[in-house]
Amino acid sequence: MTQPEARTPVLSTGRLRLTTWLPGDYADLCALHSDPLVMRYLRSGVEGAGETRARLDRFRREQVELGWTKWRLADVDGRMVGRAGFNLTADGQHRELGYVLTPRLWGLGLATEIAGALVRWHREHPEPPPAPRAARLRVRRQRREPARAGEGRLRPRR
Chain residues that interact with ligand COA, rule: CB under 6 A: 38, 41-42, 98-101, 106-112
CB of 29 to ligand COA, least distance (A): 13
CB of 156 to ligand COA, least distance (A): 25
Identity of the residue, 41 or 144, whose beta carbon is nearer to ligand COA in the bound complex? 41
Task: Give alpha helix (H) positions in the chain.
Answer: 26-33, 36-39, 49-65, 110-124, 133-143
Nearer to ligand COA, 23 or 44 (CB): 44
Tell me the residue nearest to ligand COA as measured from the CB.
111
Q: Which is nearer to ligand COA, 88 or 101 (CB)?
A: 101
Long-range CB contact pairs, 69-72, < 8 A, 24+ = 70/98, 71/10, 71/18, 71/19, 71/20, 71/21, 72/7, 72/18, 72/19, 72/20, 72/21, 72/25
CB nearer to ligand COA: give 31 or 134: 31
* Cα separation, 141 vs 144, whole angstroms: 5
What is the nearest approach in angstroms of ligand COA to the Cβ of residue 80? 13
